[in-house]
A and B are shown apart, each in its own frame.
Chain A
Amino acid sequence: MKNNNIIPIIEICNIKKNFGSVVALTDVSLSVYNKEVLCLLGDNGAGKSTLIKILSGVFKPDSGNIFYNGNKISFESSKDSIKLGIRTVYQDLAVFPLMSIADNFFVGSEPTKKFGPFKLLDIKKMHTIAKEGIEKIGVTNVETSRAVKTLSGGQRQTLAVARAEHLGAKLLILDEPTSALGVKQASVVLKYINNAKNRGIGIIFITHNVSHALAIGDRFAILKQGKLDSIYLKSEIKESKLIHLMSGGDELEKLKKEIV
């Protein structure tokens, strides 16, 4: 997948971020291309959250550069990153359970039409597009005026991803979208992510689940204590090695020895 002739959607170079005296990230460089799923792996506290918050404009890096389609950029707020088509979907708070499917689909970018001097919601359009959107994720025969809480966990998470795609995402950052889901539910989400990739979107997929990562990942980046430990292509890495890396690897070995 890595090809020097094409420009990555996003490239970060030597990103550093400290919180007071705590070092969150040191010299992290990464790039994500169109039509690829980059799995971001690492233990809790390795800096995954900090990294995605920098990419989505929530935090500003202390030093280092971010390039979007080859152009140097800096984000003042998450609005700037959204404008460029960088969309982040978080695990639990991806949707609003008490709002209708149609309303959910357009939070933050509602279509409007003029009514005299006022701009009113284009409700018809909202329902039509949302209907298409949920049919795409395999939910048929459901009124778009229904509250999202009536959907299953997998459907909700998929709805959040579908919404991000509909809103013009070029780069999707998915923060553990499958970790709270059962096997069947997770596969619904994974399938959708894979389809979104094939439609040309770049995806950063954060997960703790090895089989989920292997199912759709093209490259695997491993963060360790704020540093980029290693990057592997799918062909370069075996499942056992990945499990070893993701489950804490050497630290666990040490622990095993100590206990014995």
Chain B
Amino acid sequence: MANICLISKDTYFLINPKKYLMNITRRPEFGAAVGLVIIYTFFSIAANDNGFNSIIVFRSILDMSVSIGIIGMFATLLLISGEFDLSVGSMVAATSMLIGLCIVEWNMPVWLALVITFIFSFIFGALQGFIVVKAKMPSLIVTLGGLFFLRGITYGVSRSIVGRSIIGGINEGLQESFLYKIFAGKIFWNISASVIWWVLVAITSYLILKRTKFGNWIFSTGGSEKEARALGVPTDKVRIILFMATAGAAALFSTCQVLSFGSADSMRGTLKEMEVIITVVIGGTLITGGYGSPIGTFLGCLTLGVLRQGIYMIGIAPEWYQAVLGLVLIVAVFINRNIQKIEDFEK
């Protein structure tokens, strides 16, 4: 039987370098790291003549990674606790529309629009979590319902209030404001502020998972809910909080997007929930819960960004991206299962 080293000691490699290497290969994010290196190397050679290895393309890869990454980090924690959230794509659309309505239609200050939007996302996330834990319904069903419900509401409400499903001009005259700079500004090398948010969310989710009580509760809730509860872990609370955090992350991403583009769209975020699940799983998190890593998801997001940008850069139709993504998912899960030999524990 293989031994997985979940926490490696900093000085371990000095004592036993071979074992240290073995332990690295058994970390959940190892497959994602190797995959990213291979895919990046491939495109940096294949699309070199088209300018793949430039700062502009690098920025663009980051922007594409962020579009999944901010949500993906908390979705990882949620999946480790054993639950899915399929409603995040619709949440991106709903929160974008809510910000648009608040600022453009109801003339609210930006801060108030954002407070309302985040409260809305937390309430919706809590509601879904509440239904999952109290009615003991599978999250796949509850959030699938949430996906269609939220998308429909967003479309219906925006139609009936502004007569169309898109709102524009949201960031007009805001370019100098503090909130605009925080969510839609640029940092060095002209990198978007949302990249910083992604990194912050990633570090936060990693620290929560690996360095706090709550993190241990997340693992145990996903590992065996009954036993975790018998040991005094408030498993319902854990999952409801994670549903809220995931919905809140969708609102955060939406905020960055709306303020930079200046528009809201009720069709935004379509299929994002699927991309999120793909990145989380590519990152080595077990679909059945109880095992996984936010670092893996972070690398998985970069992989998706590189794939999408790379396929565009080598000059074939961008739709090929979806086909390749599907393949990468299956290969990644195959490799993860076989490297880590964790299939015995999937139920």
- Interface of A toward B, CB cutoff 8 Å: 56, 78-79, 82, 88, 90, 93-100, 102-103, 106-110, 112, 118-121, 123, 143, 145-147, 149-150
Contact B7 A98 (CB under 8 A): no
Contact B1 A108 (CB under 8 A): no
Contact B226 A98 (CB under 8 A): no
Contact B219 A146 (CB under 8 A): no
- Interface of B toward A, CB cutoff 8 Å: 1-9, 207, 210-213, 215-217, 219-220, 223-224, 226-233, 286, 290-291, 342, 344-345
Q: When the two chains form the complex, which single residue of B2, B217, B230 contacts A150, counting CB atoms closer than 8 Å?
A: B2
Q: When the two chains form the complex, which single residue of B3, B8, B213, B228 contacts A110, counting CB atoms closer than 8 Å?
A: B213
C-alpha spacing A25/B95, complex, angstroms: 53
Which residue of chain A is the closest to B9 with respect to CB atoms? Answer: A145
Which residue of chain A is the closest to B286 with respect to CB atoms? Answer: A98
Most chain B Cβ neighbours within 10 Å, of A99, A112, A146, A150? A99
Contact A149 B232 (CB under 8 A): no
Q: Could you jot down 18 A-B contacts, CB within 8 Å?
A: A56-B230, A79-B232, A88-B230, A90-B227, A93-B224, A96-B228, A100-B6, A103-B219, A108-B228, A108-B231, A108-B232, A109-B231, A112-B213, A119-B212, A121-B211, A121-B215, A145-B9, A146-B3
Contact A100 B7 (CB under 8 A): yes
Given contacts A96-B219, A98-B286, A107-B220, contact A145 B8 (CB under 8 A): yes
Smallest beta-carbon distance A8→chain B, Å: 23
Instruction: Collect the chain A residues with CB atoms within 8 Å of residue B219's CB.
Output: 96, 98-99, 103
* A-B pairs with lowest CB-CB distance, top 7: A108-B231, A96-B223, A108-B232, A93-B227, A98-B291, A147-B4, A100-B6
Instruction: Collect the chain A residues with CB atoms within 8 Å of residue B217's CB.
Output: 107-108
Contact B6 A99 (CB under 8 A): yes
Smallest beta-carbon distance A143→chain B, Å: 7
Contact B290 A96 (CB under 8 A): yes
Given contacts A96-B290, A145-B8, A150-B1, contact A110 B342 (CB under 8 A): no
Instruction: Collect the chain A residues with CB atoms within 8 Å of residue B8's CB.
Output: 145
Instruction: Collect the chain B residues with CB atoms within 8 Å of residue A93's CB.
Output: 224, 226-227
Q: When the two chains form the complex, which single residue of A102, A103, A109, A147 contacts B232, counting CB atoms closer than 8 Å?
A: A109
Contact A150 B4 (CB under 8 A): yes
Instruction: Collect the chain A residues with CB atoms within 8 Å of residue B229's CB.
Output: 78
Q: When the two chains form the complex, which single residue of B9, B211, B223 contacts A98, counting CB atoms closer than 8 Å?
A: B223
Given contacts A108-B231, A109-B232, contact A121 B213 (CB under 8 A): yes
Contact A110 B345 (CB under 8 A): no
C-alpha spacing A106/B219, complex, angstroms: 12
Smallest beta-carbon distance A226→chain B, Å: 23
Most chain A Cβ neighbours within 10 Å, of B5, B9, B213, B230? B230
Given contacts A98-B223, A98-B291, contact A107 B228 (CB under 8 A): yes
C-alpha spacing A22/B6, complex, angstroms: 47
Contact B6 A145 (CB under 8 A): yes
Given contacts A82-B232, A107-B216, contact A97 B223 (CB under 8 A): yes
Contact A98 B216 (CB under 8 A): no
Smallest beta-carbon distance A134→chain B, Å: 14
C-alpha spacing A103/B218, complex, angstroms: 11
Contact B342 A120 (CB under 8 A): no
Which residue of chain B is the closest to A110 with respect to CB atoms? Answer: B213
Given contacts A120-B212, A121-B211, contact A107 B233 (CB under 8 A): yes
Which residue of chain A is the closest to B26 with respect to CB atoms? Answer: A147
Which residue of chain B is the closest to A101 with respect to CB atoms? Answer: B6
Smallest beta-carbon distance A92→chain B, Å: 9
Contact B212 A121 (CB under 8 A): yes
Q: When the two chains form the complex, which single residue of B216, B228, B342 contacts A121, counting CB atoms closer than 8 Å?
A: B216
Smallest beta-carbon distance A118→chain B, Å: 8
Smallest beta-carbon distance A163→chain B, Å: 8
Which residue of chain B is the closest to A163 with respect to CB atoms? Answer: B231
C-alpha spacing A91/B210, complex, angstroms: 28
Instruction: Collect the chain B residues with CB atoms within 8 Å of residue A150's CB.
Output: 1-4
C-alpha spacing A56/B213, complex, angstroms: 23
Which residue of chain A is the closest to B289 with respect to CB atoms? Answer: A98
C-alpha spacing A102/B286, complex, angstroms: 21
Q: When the two chains form the complex, which single residue of B3, B212, B227, B291 contacts A94, counting CB atoms closer than 8 Å?
A: B227
Instruction: Collect the chain A residues with CB atoms within 8 Å of residue B232's CB.
Output: 78-79, 82, 108-109
Contact B290 A108 (CB under 8 A): no
Instruction: Collect the chain A residues with CB atoms within 8 Å of residue B5's CB.
Output: 143, 145-146
C-alpha spacing A123/B211, complex, angstroms: 8
Which residue of chain B is the closest to A121 with respect to CB atoms? Answer: B211
Smallest beta-carbon distance B108→chain A, Å: 32
Most chain A Cβ neighbours within 10 Å, of B8, B207, B211, B233? B211
Which residue of chain B is the closest to A100 with respect to CB atoms? Answer: B6
Instruction: Collect the chain A residues with CB atoms within 8 Å of residue B216's CB.
Output: 99, 103, 106-107, 110, 121
Smallest beta-carbon distance A107→chain B, Å: 4
Smallest beta-carbon distance B215→chain A, Å: 8
